[in-house]
Amino acid sequence: MLSFDIGEFVYKYYIHPIVYAGEGYNPVNTVTYAIILGISLFAILKVMDMLKVRIDEKFVVSTVPFIIVGASLRVVQDVQLVQPPLSYMFITPFVYVLAFVITAAVLLICLGLQRAGVVKDYSKPYFWTGVAGIVIVLGMLFTQEVRLWWAPVLIVLLAATFTASIYVIARHLKLDFLTNKLNIAILAAHMFDASSTFTAIDLVGGWYEEHVVPVFFIDLFGTSFVMYALKLAVFIPVIYIIEKYFKDDPQMYYGIKFVLLVLGAGPGIRNTLHMTFVSA
C-alpha cells in the first residue's frame, strides 16, 4: 500500500527551495505560486472595488516605484544584509508578500489622507513614498561593493534596443495594440528581464536560470538569448487577448496589465542588482 507523507512533500517542494535558495523553482511550487497569483489578483480586485479605488493607468504608474522597491528588497538578502531567519522574508515568494504588505499599507494611508481632506489626490504621496522607498533600499545596497558596474548599463541598452525595434515594427505594421504606452511598457519590462538573463548567463557566466520553463528552452537551444523570443511569443498574444476581450472591465483590464508589468520588471530588476552587487 502506497503511503504519502505530506510533511516530506511540503519540505521537499516548498521549504527546502526557500531555505536553500540556490535550488530555485520546481514544477510543483511553480504551479502553486501561479495559482496563488491568480487567486490573489481576483482578491485584490475585490478589495479595490470595496475601497472604491479605480485601477487605471494613473494607479499603475503610481505603483511602479513599489515594484522597484519589492525587487530591490530581494537583493537585500542576496548581499546578506539580513541573516536567517529574518532573511527568509526576503526570499521568493515571501518577499512578494512583504512588498505587498508595504504597498497596501502606504496605499491605505494615502487614501485615508485623501478622504480626510489632507491631500487632494492620494496618488501623489503614494508615488513619492514609493520613490523614497527606492532611495532607502538602494542606499542600503550601495553600502556594498559594486562588482559589475557595466552590467546594468548593458542590460538597459539591450532592453531599449529590443523595445524600440518592436515599437518601430509595430508602427510600420500598424499594430496599434503594441504602440499603446502601457503595453509597450510591459514589453519593455520583459525585454529588460530577458536582457538581464542573457547578460548574466551568456555574457558574464557563472549564473543560471531558476524558473522551470525558461530552463527547458535555454537547455534546448543552448543559449539564454532564446529568452527574447520566448518572451515575445508569450506576451504579444497575451497583450492582444487583453485588448480584445478585457476592455469592457477596466479593473480587470488594468489589473492584468499591472501583473504582467510586475512579472517582467520584478525579476529583471532583481537580476540586474544581483549582478551589480553579488559575485556569481
Residue 120 pLDDT class (50, 70, 90 cuts): very high
- pLDDT tens track for 215-258: 999 999 999 999 999 999 999 999 999 999 999 999 999 999 99
pLDDT beyond 70 at 18: no
- What distance lies between CA 50 and its chain's CA centroid? 26
- DSSP structure string for 229-275: HHHHHHHHHHHHHHHHHSTT-HHHHHHHHHHHHHHHHHHHHHHHHHH
Whether 14 has a pLDDT exceeding 70, the answer reads no
Q: CB neighbours of 253 closer than 8 A, spacing ≥ 6?
A: 242, 246, 247
State the pLDDT at residue 188: 98
Closest CA to 192 of 142, 260, 139, 280: 260
Q: Is pLDDT at 10 greater than 80 in this prediction? A: no
For the segment 25-37, the average pLDDT, to the nearest whole number, is 72
Nearest to 110 by CA among 176, 65, 144, 147: 65
pLDDT at res. 53? 87
| Band of residue 3 on the pLDDT scale cut at 50, 70, 90 | low
| pLDDT for 24 beyond 70 | no
Q: What is the mean pLDDT of residues 97-111?
A: 94
Of 15, 114, 107, the closest CA to residue 69 belongs to 107
Residue 231: name the closest of 182, 189, 266, 168 by CA.
Answer: 189
Q: Over range 105-128, report the average pLDDT.
A: 96
Q: What is the pLDDT of residue 86?
A: 80
Over residues 26-44, mean pLDDT? 75
pLDDT in tens, 186-226: 999 999 999 999 999 999 988 888 778 889 999 999 999 99
3-state SS of 220-237 is HHCCCCHHHHHHHHHHHH
| Range in 14-23, 92-101, 103-112 with the lowest mean pLDDT | 14-23
Rounded Cα distance, 199 and 151, in Å: 7
Residue percentage of the chain with pLDDT more than 90: 66
- The whole-number average pLDDT for the span 94-101 is 87
Q: What is the 3-state secondary structure (H, E, C) of 145-161?
A: CCCCCHHHHHHHHHHHH
Residue 70, phi-psi category: left (phi > 0), alpha (psi -120 to 50), beta (remainder): alpha
Q: Taking 90 as the threshold, does the pLDDT of residue 130 lie above it?
A: yes
115 or 95, which is more confident: 115
154 pLDDT above the threshold of 90:
yes
pLDDT of residue 1: 45
Lowest-confidence range among 13-22, 30-39, 147-156, 265-274? 13-22
pLDDT at 94: 79
